[in-house]
Amino acid sequence: MKIGVIADDFTGASDIALTLAEAGMTVHQFIDVPKGEADPDLGAAVIALKSRTASVQEAVDDSLAACAWLRAQGAAQIVFKVCSTFDSTAEGNIGPVLDALSAQLNAGPVMVCPAFPENGRSVYQGHLFVNDMLLSESGMKDHPLTPMRDADLRRVLAAQSQCQVSHVSAQVVQQGADALRAALPPTGHVIVDATQDEDLKILGRAAAGAPLICGGSGIALGLPANFGASARTPHWAAVTGPGVILSGSCSQATRAQVERYKMIAPSVEITAAQAMSGEIRIGNLVNWILDQEVAPLVYSSADPEIVRAAQLQYGQGQAAEAIEGVFRELAGQLAEAGVQRIVVAGGETSGAAVQGLKAYQLEIGPRLAAGVPVLRLLKERPVALALKSGNFGGPDFFAQALQRMEIAQ
């Protein structure tokens, strides 16, 4: 194994796994820290944790355990994968985890760059942009769990970290890998500007030999070439059978996708009140899904005002956990009932669904959209999955993903 990735949520894990696979590496996604050894033929392994919204200590402990396993499998370089919108709170968990990994690996300066230009995320003068808006002016300011109201990544990371945080500008990056390496301080964390894919490839070349780097999936664009890999399209064997959409993300993009899919398919909404009261009968919901001729939509995606009202009534964590519990049980029962194509929107919802499916290792297939691969879970019958970050994909992503799962490549 050459590259080991520690991802702080499930959709982010499949996102960077796709980047590595398209760059030519054989890669599997693991759910939590594996107990056994990895296939020796793997070029990269991605461990999906649910550490973005965990307590700081739990996030640190789980990340260190993942790092230890990856290093034991021979990983020469560790990537701490975070969201391209740098989702976190004032306390973490990016800073504390990055500090702990850096200390464990004796890493020296750690380059940090969440840029993902293909999906409109860029870093310039240390500030994170979502398309043409500062992060703090985008829909991320209303995220129900990790609202991002400061676009200055230097300030965000410094508030969470015990290490010095510095910055390398786009002007330096665009002079090449040697200039970038020369600009790095001896220690600490370094926010690196990137506004285009070529900047990330330069960062990748500059990271050759670095034990630790941190960023979104785009940071992996230039890494496989350091180990002799070349671009390819991942193989995919068609998966047919019943399908379903499970959507828990409240992002603007996902809410638009939900409204578009409701125009062509049956749908049912799961509210916080229903989840908290326990009135939802999962068995009845499974039967309703199986009775539909078109793959139906089950969603809890709501406007920020509705989410805030539910948080005030039930508590921020309690409402989210109750809804996740519904999706967790539903995903497991759907797979047992024969559903073979499952599209999930939202990082927390994806984590719940994967846990319900009792998935421990996923094969990476071709891309469905930027940052979203199709995944294969091997059970008695194959199950195709798409784990979509809330902000990813076009308006018709749900229908297109279900259709793409049925096409071999």
Strands 77-81 and 212-215: parallel
**What is the topology classification, in CATH, of domain 3-227?**
Rossmann fold (3.40.50)
Average pLDDT score over the chain: 93
Pairwise CA distance, residues 216 & 12, whole Å = 8
Instruction: Give the distance, in angstroms, between the CA of residue 392 and the centroid of all CA atoms in the same chain.
Output: 10
| pTM of structure | 0.86
Phi and psi (nearest 5°) for 222? -100, 0
pLDDT band at 286 (very low <50, low <70, confident <90, very high): very high
Indicate if the pLDDT at residue 240 is higher than 80. yes
Contact, 400 vs 127, CB < 8 A? no
Q: What is the pLDDT of residue 134?
A: 96
Q: What is the pLDDT of residue 251?
A: 86
Q: What is the pLDDT of residue 314?
A: 79
More confident residue, 89 or 110: 110
Indicate if the pLDDT at residue 198 is higher than 70. yes
Indicate if the pLDDT at residue 38 is higher than 80. yes
Domain boundaries, the chain: 3-227, 243-404
Q: What is the pLDDT of residue 254?
A: 93
Q: CB atoms < 10 A from the CB of 346, how many?
A: 29
Q: What is the pLDDT of residue 315?
A: 77
pLDDT band at 27 (very low <50, low <70, confident <90, very high): very high
DSSP-derived 3-state class of residue 221: coil
Residue-wise pLDDT tens digits, 182-197: 999 999 999 999 999 9
Indicate if the pLDDT at residue 57 is higher than 80. yes
Residue-wise pLDDT tens digits, 300-335: 977 777 777 877 787 767 888 889 999 999 999 999
pLDDT band at 142 (very low <50, low <70, confident <90, very high): confident
**What is the topology classification, in CATH, of domain 243-404?**
Molybdenum Cofactor Biosythetic Enzyme; Chain A (3.40.980)
DSSP-derived 3-state class of residue 192: strand
Pairwise CA distance, residues 336 & 368, whole Å = 25
Q: What is the pLDDT of residue 173?
A: 98
40-58 mean pLDDT: 93
Same fold, 3-227 and 243-404: no
Token digits of residue 294: 């078109």
Indicate if the pLDDT at residue 380 is higher than 70. no
